[in-house]
Amino acid sequence: MRASTVKNPAAEAPKPESNYLNNGHTIASWLLTKDHKRIAILYLISVTIFFAVGSFLAGLIRAELILPRGVMLENETYNKIFTLHGVVMIFFFLIPSIPATLGNFLIPMMIGAKDLAFPRLNLLSWYLYIIAGLIAIVAIAMGGVDTGWTFYAPYASMYSNSQVSLTIGAAFLAGFSSIFTGINFIVTIHKMRAPGMTWFRLPLYVWGHYSTSIIIILGTPVVAITLLMLLAERTLHLGFFSPELGGDPVLFQHLFWFYSHPAVYIMILPGMGVISEIITCFSRRRIFGYEFVAFSSLAIAGLGFLVWGHHLYVSGQSMYQGMVFSIITFLVAIPSAVKVFNWSTTIFKGSVRLQTPMAYALGFMGLFLVGGLTGLYLSSMATDIHLTDTYFVVAHFHFVMVGGAVMAMLGGVHFWWPKMTGKMYNEHLGKLSAAITFVGFNLTFLPQFAMGYLGMPRRYHYYYLWPDFQIYHILSTAGAFVLAIGYAMPAFYLLWSLKHGKDAGPNPWGAKGLEWTTPSPPPTENFTTIPIVTEEAYNYDPELAEREETLADMLEHDYSPEGAGN
Amino acid sequence: MSTTMANSDHGHADGVFHQYENIDQQNESYIVGMWTFLVTEVMFFGPLFFTYILYRWQYQEYFWRTHQLLDIKLGGINTMILLASSFSMAMGVHYAQKKDTKRQLGMMGFTVLCGAAFLAIKLALEWAPKFQHHMIPGPQFTWPPHDGYDQSILALLHDVPRGAAEMYFSIYFGITGLHGIHVVVGMLCIAIIMFMKVRKFPQVESYIPTEMVGLYWHFVDLVWIFLYPLFYLMPR
């Protein structure tokens, strides 16, 4: 395919195998590519940049809160910074992170397809995302936005005089980027599977993305039109939400959370898929209860649409409404727990190798467990009324979204890095960064549970009326800087591995799955011949795994599967 | 649905893109993709309908009276026009299946004309007078209206609060405006397919792309089929 780039006779003489990375070197060959793997790399780079921006803003917030009267920021500046932190992290990092990078890269390869169903649409998604990001940056340059990432009406629509319109435009475009990705995934998973790849042979990662795509196509249009309505109210004075125009602001909250609660599952479900892959591979064990894990993804997606009202317990909605939402919210814990129990059982029965991706996966399980269990305090109306808008909530959603989604993202990047680049990174540094991240994370957010319970409100940039909170804030800020080290390390050793890393070979982890049957990095068309699938996913042989392990111990050197295989 | 260049390096001679095994897989992907997209469109319009439901329930009496200001005849004519366009679009797909390009283009052209007529009536005969009478929500909004309507209607309106009336027109302009944008997009998509057909692009060899655009057009029509009773017929 792509005669224009392949037909390059001046290529270096001892040309190695053609793969997606060396197939065309010009900038245009990257910016106009329709190859899902290259688009994934484009996303990976841009998502990482946004993550850095969002983390920097988080650092400012943490630094500000060291002193009870604040350190450096004005009230208004502080509002703008936490708003931008939220907008950047949610719309430009967490939502696209795993689907658009790892999902784009892996879904076609995992199901044995040459590409996604609509490559042009895929490229368009990336451009929409980039344009949205640029608009957001323009909005920052023009003074930022102070509404909080939730854009609650009527403040956002009638009173705030910051750059709300531009920011809403950015979120709207980013939403469309995600809708197109979702459509692409659904069509690809339905129609592009290789012969023999039945639904119940799909890797759980693909199930996770399928469920995510369902949420995206059902939820994202709702927030898109809601933001558009807000924009119309702000610019054209079409009344929808503002009481001044005869409207009801609670309507905005309903419509907003109808998307934004399921959006939490957009962030976490792909991460759960990643964890399922990593845990089976490094436990050398077929996952326990495949169907349960697959259907729990769909169950989370389905239930996720019925629980938005738990964000409105204190909005003045009726008590009975609150009770119903509370009960349904508790139900979400069941499929989430199913996953955790199945992973635990898989590890329990497996022969575990603690390599970098596995270290991240275990970190994910620990943090997600805390994040999930504290969710129960918030889904229960009685405790929620005490905890609403305190740091307890902040800690809870950071545990789920940062502890969960970001750990999974990092685990996934470490797991598939050899596949994406063909290079191995430094294993010791990898494990070290996973450990630092885990420690830093807990140090940052565990104190926030405590001070939230004691009454520290979120979104305040001072607490001089109760300086006792200071010790928690100092611990939290210290943790944030440890966390920053943990997050920064992979950027260095992964980039270093590009030049100096050992060649990975097609399957460095000895993993199952179609993506490991093709060379690393994969050729542009993914597979030389379309594979035919004859076995179920995760057909690991536990006995063989144990023999391999014994052999490795006997040889007394770093275990490496391809060494043992040869 | 995607527009492509004739010399596209991806397109095989038979119009099958490189990522597909054969034309059947490609066509089935288009169909699943289009229906998925239509699901997102339903969800996109959903909140506006929901908003309408909420406020109609809240301001039932006032909404009912404000309804009278819309012209049932113009709405009816527009409904007829869109129904005709849906029929001609369906015929266009039929002729595409029969490989009768001339008739297919004729039918699709008629569909585009219907879309244009719909927009013309909407903008010139419905929206423009409302702009003149300051019925567009915002600081200029004048309530109750002074003239341009007969006395029986004006008598009904005199005690409708400004907020309720403004809300009614907000939803009216919001939802018919969004629908109007969809009509424009639909016309553009049909025109693109017609252009590709005239220039004999291999990608529109199969009738499926035409059918996909047709599905979109039927969706746009269907939204109007809901809007007409909600906004025009309800008070009668």
Tell me which of A252 and B10 has the higher pLDDT.
Answer: A252
Measured in degrees and rounded to the nearest 5, phi and psi for residue A457 equal -75, 155
Give the integer Cα–Cα distance in Å for A495 and B77.
Answer: 65
- Assign B157 to helix, strand or coil: helix
- pLDDT higher than 50, residue B230: yes
Cα nearest neighbour of A251 on chain B = B51
- Assign B162 to helix, strand or coil: helix
Give the integer Cα–Cα distance in Å for A402 and A445.
Answer: 10
CA distance B24 to chain A (A): 10
Mean pLDDT, chain B, integer: 89
Give the integer Cα–Cα distance in Å for A522 and A422.
Answer: 8
Would you tell me which residues 58-117 of chain B have a C-beta closer than 8 angstroms to some C-beta of chain A? 58-59
- pLDDT higher than 70, residue B59: yes
A220 touches chain B (CB under 8 A): yes
Measured in degrees and rounded to the nearest 5, phi and psi for residue A423 equal -125, 150
Q: Which of A499, A540, A504, A344 is nearest to A416 (CA)?
A: A504
Give the integer Cα–Cα distance in Å for A479 and A298.
Answer: 35
Q: Taking a C-beta distance cutoff of 8 angstroms, is the pair A150, A87 a contact? A: no
DSSP state of B202: G
End-to-end, the C-alpha distance of chain A in Å comes to: 34
Q: Which of B17, B25, B173 sits opposite A191 (nearest CB)?
A: B25
B160 touches chain A (CB under 8 A): no
Q: Which residues of A touch B55 (CB under 8 A)?
A: 246-248
pLDDT digits (tens, 9 = 90+) for A411-427: 999 999 999 999 999 99
Give the list of residues 6+ apart from residue A109 with CB closer than 8 angstroms, or none.
Answer: A514, A515, A518, A522, A526, A527
- pLDDT higher than 80, residue A410: yes
What pLDDT is recorded for position A535? 87
Q: Which two tokens stand for residue A283?
A: 């436990």
Give the integer Cα–Cα distance in Å for B164 and A26.
Answer: 59
- pLDDT higher than 80, residue A394: yes
Given CA atoms A419, A425, A431, A434 in this order, what sign does their dihedral have? negative
Question: How many of the other CB atoms lie within 10 Å of CB of B47?
Answer: 25
Q: Which two tokens stand for residue A2?
A: 């792509």
pLDDT digits (tens, 9 = 90+) for B116-168: 999 999 999 999 888 888 888 887 888 877 766 777 778 888 888 888 888 99
CA distance B86 to chain A (A): 25
CA distance A212 to chain B (A): 14
What pLDDT is recorded for position A557? 56
DSSP state of A390: B
Where helices occur in A12-74 by DSSP H, the ranges are 27-31, 36-64
Query: Mutation test of the interface with chain A: which of B10, B19, B37, B140, choosing the one with the most A Cβ atoms within 10 A?
Result: B19
Would you tell me which residues 162-201 of chain B have a C-beta closer than 8 angstroms to some C-beta of chain A? 162-164, 166-167, 170-171, 173-174, 178
Q: What is the dihedral of CA A486, A492, A497, A500, to 10 degrees?
A: -130
What pLDDT is recorded for position A564? 47
What pLDDT is recorded for position A8? 47
Contact A186 B161 (CB under 8 A): no
Give the integer Cα–Cα distance in Å for A282 and B4.
Answer: 45
Question: How many of the other CB atoms lie within 10 Å of CB of B53?
Answer: 11
Q: Taking a C-beta distance cutoff of 8 angstroms, is the pair A396, A375 a contact? A: yes
Q: Which residues of B touch A525 (CB under 8 A)?
A: 18
Long-range contacts of A263-266 (CB under 8 A, 24+ apart): A263/A90, A263/A95, A263/A215, A263/A219, A263/A223, A264/A304, A264/A397, A264/A400, A264/A401, A265/A211, A265/A212, A265/A215, A265/A300, A265/A301, A265/A304, A266/A95, A266/A99, A266/A178, A266/A212, A266/A215, A266/A216, A266/A219
What pLDDT is recorded for position A239? 87
What pLDDT is recorded for position A128? 97
Contact B54 A248 (CB under 8 A): yes
Q: Which of A402, A517, A368, A388 is nearest to A456 (CA)?
A: A388
The structure tokens 């692009």 sit at: B201
Q: Which residues of A touch B170 (CB under 8 A)?
A: 232-233, 238-240, 245
Residue A120: alpha-carbon gap to chain centroid:
24
Give the integer Cα–Cα distance in Å for A361 and A350.
Answer: 15
Q: Taking a C-beta distance cutoff of 8 angstroms, is the pair B62, B165 a contact? A: yes
Question: How many of the other CB atoms lie within 10 Å of CB of A393?
Answer: 21
Q: Which residues of A touch B139 (CB under 8 A)?
A: 237
What pLDDT is recorded for position A561? 56
Segment B169-197 mean pLDDT = 95
Given CA atoms A278, A282, A284, A287 in this order, what sign does their dihedral have? negative
Separation in Å, CA A393 to CA A80, A146, B139: 20, 20, 40
Would you tell me which residues 33-52 of chain A have a C-beta closer than 8 angstroms to some C-beta of chain B? 34
Query: Mutation test of the interface with chain B: which of A213, A220, A240, choosing the one with the most B Cβ atoms within 10 A?
Result: A240
Cis peptide before B144 (omega within 30 of 0): yes
For A326-368, the DSSP string reads HHHHHHHHHHHHHHHHHHHHHHHHS-----HHHHHHHHHHHHH
Burial class, A164, CB count within 10 angstroms (exposed 0-12 / middle 13-18 / buried 19+): buried
Count chain A–chain B contacts defined by CB atoms under 8 A.
129
Q: What type of residue sits at position A108?
A: P
Residue B58: alpha-carbon gap to chain centroid:
27
pLDDT digits (tens, 9 = 90+) for A33-83: 999 999 999 999 999 999 999 999 999 999 999 999 988 888 899 999 999
- pLDDT higher than 70, residue A4: no
A124 touches chain B (CB under 8 A): no
Contact B137 A236 (CB under 8 A): yes
- Assign A51 to helix, strand or coil: helix
Q: Which two tokens stand for residue B184?
A: 């424009």
Segment A552-564 mean pLDDT = 58
Q: Taking a C-beta distance cutoff of 8 angstroms, is the pair A108, A116 a contact? A: yes
Give the list of residues 6+ apart from residue A21 with CB closer than 8 angstroms, or none.
Answer: A421, A422, A521
Give the integer Cα–Cα distance in Å for B158 and A86.
Answer: 47
Q: Which residues of B touch A191 (CB under 8 A)?
A: 25, 28-29, 32
Q: Which residues of B touch A116 (CB under 8 A)?
A: 19
ipTM exceeding cut-off 0.85 for this assembly: yes
CA distance B39 to chain A (A): 7
What pLDDT is recorded for position B159? 84
- pLDDT higher than 80, residue B11: no
End-to-end, the C-alpha distance of chain B in Å comes to: 41
Q: Which of A537, A526, A461 is nearest to A119 (CA)?
A: A526
User: What band does B5 get if pLDDT is binned at 50, 70 and 90?
Assistant: very low
Measured in degrees and rounded to the nearest 5, phi and psi for residue A382 equal -60, -50
Measured in degrees and rounded to the nearest 5, phi and psi for residue A390 equal -115, 180
Burial class, A189, CB count within 10 angstroms (exposed 0-12 / middle 13-18 / buried 19+): buried
Where helices occur in A350-469 by DSSP H, the ranges are 356-379, 381-387, 391-398, 407-421, 427-454
Beta strand ranges found along A108-188 (DSSP E)? none
Please state the pTM of the whole predicted model.
0.91
Q: Which of A220, A238, A248 sits opposite B137 (nearest CB)?
A: A238
Question: How many of the other CB atoms lie within 10 Å of CB of A243?
Answer: 13
Q: Which residues of B touch A184 (CB under 8 A)?
A: 33
Q: Which two tokens stand for residue A255?
A: 């419509």
CA distance B102 to chain A (A): 30
Contact B54 A251 (CB under 8 A): yes
Q: Taking a C-beta distance cutoff of 8 angstroms, is the pair A430, A363 a contact? A: no
Q: Which of A326, A448, A338 is nearest to A378 (CA)?
A: A326
pLDDT digits (tens, 9 = 90+) for A81-128: 999 999 999 999 999 999 999 999 999 999 999 999 999 999 999 999
Give the integer Cα–Cα distance in Å for A64 and A70.
Answer: 5
A229 touches chain B (CB under 8 A): yes
